Structure 1
């Protein structure tokens, strides 16, 4: 800056930053730029366009660097100037010589504007200004070899696993056919590596005549699916289908597979189960591959197919097939190292786990988030479901402040127009958070938005019924029985059969003063003949039944129902199911001395009294050594007053088995006593908070 000021050059801070970036601290380069800037009418524009081809810089680099090199070194520098990065074998290919790596190392040691870019000093780049000058001199001295150099570079890079650079050099050579084959072979893989924007830029660089190649149209559809518009993606898929006869026989099998992948991905995002099932069959057949590239593409397509069909099945409440396909997709994604697919599968498996265990759901989603954060994808839409699930887990346990933080992250990554099923989940979770905070009118708006998103989905979303039920229950909490009745009439016949709808109907009957009708409505939930979607539904049913029994004067059965509800809530320290029903009075009168869940009961009464549970600072974490499913089941009972024998009775195992699991839990959590294990598990998010965390 002092040099610029001494020369009378006024440059903005951004302009100075650009100049320093272009010169990379090269003092002589800064001085040469300053000489040219002096008296220039537009210094900012000059800096923006400043390059090694600028006359003062070019003259200096020619005289002081390039012309001082032996002919063989000059040839190497000029012919490799087309590359962003160069290594010895690639330089040998472009120069037709050998020993290029040694020459590059010597140039770096001599500070001749050559810099290694890896610890092994096997890859190099040229100073930006020097590279500009070299390319200018190459075009001047050997214009006829430039295209051939790009073509040779494309071939070498493709063989050596650098498809993006290979495609760019094929495009620079004007070899559109080769570039098209390369991007068709590698575009899906690049997209799964988080390079969708790069694929879009590469597609945009093709000349107009190549834009209608069927395989390129499918890749454009993938870009649209993940970044822009489902409707435009559908248009590209339709175009690709119309141009399908143009695909050569040697490419037809691959094109057909990619077309099925694109259709399936679109069907999943639209929530179209029938269309997804039509497309998935061919993708799950054994892979027939002639080359490693074919095998890699086939594995990618199969993993994507398992992920997409698993997600659409899960949201369509096919709870046998969906999780099974997600587990298969996760296993294959781990085998072929596809973290994008791992994140999506883990996230939705976390949702499935939440139906029975908040701790297991946290583990699944924490793993998904850890992968996303490690790869810089924490704000990518693929992380939305895991983030929303973490929020849902905190809301379920009454940690509203912490849940809000997770939810804000989920909303920041959400793309409602591209994944309405995930967006429906986010709005639903926001509604539950607002209910927990007592902001009922705002909660109605979020549940309503979740219900409206069903209109853009072809199949019924698993949370649409619960969203309608939540609207009805929230109306009841606001004293609006008419609104609750109107909402329940919108339930489909299928939704009415679920336990969630029956609990809402029971709550309405209680509000109307008809305790007998409430008990009757709840019976199929309590005898397990009515299916349920959420883990807390049976707890709500038990508490509503207890309220009805209490009002009917049957205090014994009421207390028994409350204790059973606490039994179910204790393992995950569930709080939210008790907040949405009129249960405070019966909970306050529940005798603590006869309860095995005095701590949880105190937590519930604190939250019902308006004292939120404190959010403890932690990042997604798992135990130092993962607990088995059996150990997790035992762990959930440790905060209770139950003995090892009583826990064994609850789990239908022997007392010695429970004690063995407890010993393993202590070892894995690095603790010595039961209370320490509970505290450690809560720190790790494997258990909910205790009353000791209450302000």
Structure 2
């Protein structure tokens, strides 16, 4: 079990930026931020150059805020759910490890949506503490992923008083701000609020420019910059040391706000050649450090240049207290990048490529791939993806691999069989089963006998076919394709010493189980489970395979063998669920279902209820309707056996709602029908005993009555119960007579009154 990928940039992304030289403290805004702590969300929204980050960094460093503020500086690479929440949760863990430890562990589980598990876990842990924290998310305008925003919306909807969130960006967060505003849960700081007052603008000019303007010139400067922080700073830089500040102010015009000509002539021309060269050529990168700049520029001394630029307030800001990392203001960086592209366009890919080499050497493979894609060196990006699969998958970054691979292919990457197969595998691990089908289809024409095998497999095609058989078809659209693909995978993956041997057989066994061929599934799984190579399986795959073995053994009546398999992996399953919580859903749901049913067969209703309630929660998280219906049906049986008819009816009712909303297999439908019938039969006996029902209902009549309580037509009911439409009509007439009603609505209402539905 591993966590999200470690990162040498992790600490700098979590560091509150240190105080900027010549920054002006703006008490009115600090007071507003303190008041905003009463709101669930404080949105700081303004275009570039209005001082959002400077304000929040100053505020976060105030004594009363320093120990309770978690900070995340975002960039485009964070626009992916697992990566985003890894950074957010790690920032919170620096304040209180108990707040996010369980949620962080959940992120490392395969095939689970962070919104489903990690965010609710975080909310539960936050609700259990009395401390009050603030999470600052800077530059949220770079986030576009729908799942990221869904997670943030969910967080804010149920946020306890122990946490407040501050978001800074150039555009409104993709959240229901109107609803939050109407509830009094939103505080806002916008460009009009960030606009410098006359007094503040005079103070900033004096701090940066080194001299104070006469009142008339100060007023003129304020009017022409409209209190815009970046414009004020540029004006101060342009006159610093000139001895004629009033004359410089008089030359300002409104269109200077667009700053290109102004920056080039008034500020950049005053830099020494080494400073200007570094800023222009390093404009291809958002974050800068001395070693990185040295590697890209092929020289030494960059750390000193960056330090001098920051100290001179030349639009370079430190990102961490140790001043190892810096960023150039986005406005200046845009100007510099355009200058570089205009004067030396061939340098851009070269510089990006060198930066990619540096990141790769530093162990940041993901950043290296991003830079290669940005450099349009797609062949190298694909090669790095091909050679670094283990780095991504072993560090829990399958979703990052999938995102980068899709970007590389979209950018014109050449067909690559191995990368395509691994993109399908990454989609499996990250729960993107729709993308599994896509990448299996993409890989199919290019995977042949000579395609290099993936680690743990004898055949790349066997892996492809295994993924197709297990995940490559919709539940209601499988026909026999998964059987054919699974059988071919088993034929190809013949080396029993590789874990692929076990996985190929598990996939075909799953297809057999879906087809109701349990004896065939057991034969395959018996062979696979006895192979020593199963010990080489990743823990989640081992537990899922064990659950499959136990479930099929139980289905054919091999109760003792099913129990032996569960007992063999019980400690491992407990450890995984203890570490991941409900995020262990894909690993242990089958095991918990079998354990619950085994306990029920032994008469241990307390353990059975505990295991099956757990199986219901896990199946819900896993998003598997079939397993959810089976777990709920089994739980209803146990509740009924324990005498809790209300609990049994609640479980059965929910199972019916799930079953009616999605196609489920005949076995699950039969299990649900059986428990519904038993529930109805008990209610019939009670109604007869109390004299409220004068004639017994048959099992079929009960089934029809329960089906009538939903939206199904008579034709739908006939198909679900494997009866003709005329037979259903006959049962319906009999029901009306026995219940003393004359319509479907009255029959259902009478049935509910008697506890039959």
TM-score, normalised with respect to structure 1 = 0.47
TM-score, normalised with respect to structure 2 = 0.44
Query: Quick one: higher RCO (CA 8 Å, sep 6+), 1 or 2?
Result: 2
